[in-house]
Amino acid sequence: MDSHGRYEQHVAWTVVGTDIGPLLLAATRDGLVNVVFHATDEVRDKALDRLTSRLGTEPVEAPESPLLAEAIRQVAAYFSGERRDFDLPLDWSLISGFNRQVLRELASGVPYGAVVGYGDLAGRVGQPGAAQAVGVAMGSNPLPVVVPCHRVVESDGGIGGFGGGLETKRKLLALEGVLPEPLF
């Protein structure tokens, strides 16, 4: 506790190797708070600076942390094809309002191997016509892969955009059987 009797924020992080490249995983006592694609040194350092600014404490590299252990295990199982759903406590503190509402619906309502259109997802949260705002919510998702923004596609069958890059989105959709595996 701090001098005011409040619990101090503690953020643990690590980088794990996956089929789509290194992912930074960060967790608080409340749950997984951030997943960052392509976690090279430069990307990792920028992400950690953002977390420090947003959460008010400097994240600590702690690959053996109990806060991260289950997330690491479930991410590995997902990429090996042994897990379809994540069952992790999530810390939603990096996102709020409409974006949080949309991401919570995505996490609970779009299962492995399924996709949803931006407009359809907007309708599910009571905002028909807000497809573009759903796209913004996907782009601000602090928990990609675990909160599966890769499952949101264009209504005309297009793949749509993706913060981790379109090749990463294709690989995730192929892993889930939505798209065929790339030939090379």
Kindly list the catalytic residues: 149
Helix (H, G, I), strand (E, B) or coil at 45: helix
Task: Single out the residue of 34, 30, 62 nearest to residue 48, CA to CA.
Answer: 34
Phi then psi for residue 83, to 5 deg, are -135, 135
The CA distances from residue 34 to 52, 108, 119, 152, 172, in Å, are 12, 18, 26, 19, 18
Under a CB-based contact definition with an 8 Å cutoff, are residues 46 and 53 in contact? no
| Residue 25 three-state SS | strand
d(CA 37, CA 29): 22
- Among 176, 149, 1, which residue's Cα sits nearest to residue 83? 176
